[in-house]
Structure 1
Amino acid sequence: MKVVVIGGTGLIGSKLVGKLAEHGHEAVPASPNSGVNTLTGEGVAEVLRGAQVVVDVSNSPSFADDDVMEFFRTSTTNLLKAEKGAGVTHHVALSVVGTERLQESGYFRAKQVQEGLIKESGIPYSIVHATQFFEFMKGIAESGTQGDTVHLAPVGIRPVHSDDVAATVGATAVGAPVNGVVEVAGPDTFQLDELISKGLAAKNDPRTVVADPKAPYFGAQLQETTLLPGPDVRIGKVRFADWLAQQQ
């Protein structure tokens, strides 16, 4: 099976390409570095020739509200149009658990638009919603930093390792389209402030984490279950504590 991975040189994309190849699939990484630019349309039709599945794990180079909306709207529109021309029979996209509950954030509004375009395209699809990757904990800490303190809402979070995300996306890509959402999360649930505090302590970061119920999360206010998956979530294998120990 030929699977084109848009964003195939990034964190998830590179792992996904490797996993698909290990299972005998023709996995083709596509990114601006390989001459494929979904924002401009350059190289898209060419790379999709003969593909049965397209997996989109790309991300906007800028998270400014207007830029990220332009990226996901334009790149997704270009990609879906090219897929129809190439006869692609399964479109898979990686998105985020809680996207529909985070619409105060420009980034998540853009992701919701992306998902809407996919659902309305007529192409059989699967959308994988992942919780926050272990590797993103540094970025979450930075987003809440005020001087020497990190302000984060004390709400539930179930972070997941990127390997487990790639494995779920890969299994979804080679399966039948679900025409809906598949969720993946890690095996452990934390409070967001607790999780980031553990991560900072492991790196001897002197910042203090403050539990602040009103602290925004990338521009959105959080409720206790905003970032948590539903009951049918697929559970990853890697525990946060084990991953953290490996980083040290």
Structure 2
Amino acid sequence: MKSMLKKILLLVAVGAVAFACKDVKPDPKPKPKPEPEPSVFKIAINVADGEQYTSQIDSVEAYYSTKEFNTVVLRRVPYNNGKFELELLDTIQNKDFQTIVEYYALKSVIKDVSVSDATTLIAPIEIRCLKDGKITGYYITPRFTVEGADHSSGKYYYCDKNCELSMDKKIDAIHYIMNLKLAKGYNFIQSINYYENNEMKIVFSTEQQGDFVWKIWKEEHDDDEF
């Protein structure tokens, strides 16, 4: 009798263990951590009298040109009556733009510019307007009001490393002054035109002067912009 009771208790114990084992669920696999969102550089723009262009513009895009002068679009956003924000990746992966020496060689002044690192890559960032996906010929740039200056404007540039440029020389009746301290990433370069004592002076600087507004212009480039 005792032997039979032991067998029954043993079977009950084994069954309980088997049931408990069936009820145990394996630990769920840990969820992979989400990749961090890429860091971006933001440019907030509010175009002066921007609502006047809504029939001609429905979107804008930021882009740069490669050393072969091909266009690479970085970002396109709705025009939104001239109030929009461009979010550009902090790092441009494509490195198919010009060296800083090649870029300023096109301006015919590189031999007179002191450059801290001639291997620095640089790309001017343009902002153009579109309608139904087609280029309109309108571009957006900031225009500054600087005391004593005839004209002042500027644009953003992307650099792949830190670099400094300096210059103070008269070339073909124009006195050029350049004081640029460029950091890796996006930089804003302002050009300021002065006319003093029958002489034209153009200053290029990464230190902004005066107040500015964003304006729409039909031309892509100004002759004095670097």
| TM-score bucket (shorter structure) | under 0.3
Higher alpha-carbon Rg: 2
Q: What TM-score, normalized by structure 1, do the two folds share?
A: 0.22
Larger RCO (CA under 8 A, 6+ residues apart): 1
Higher strand share: 2
Higher helix share: 1
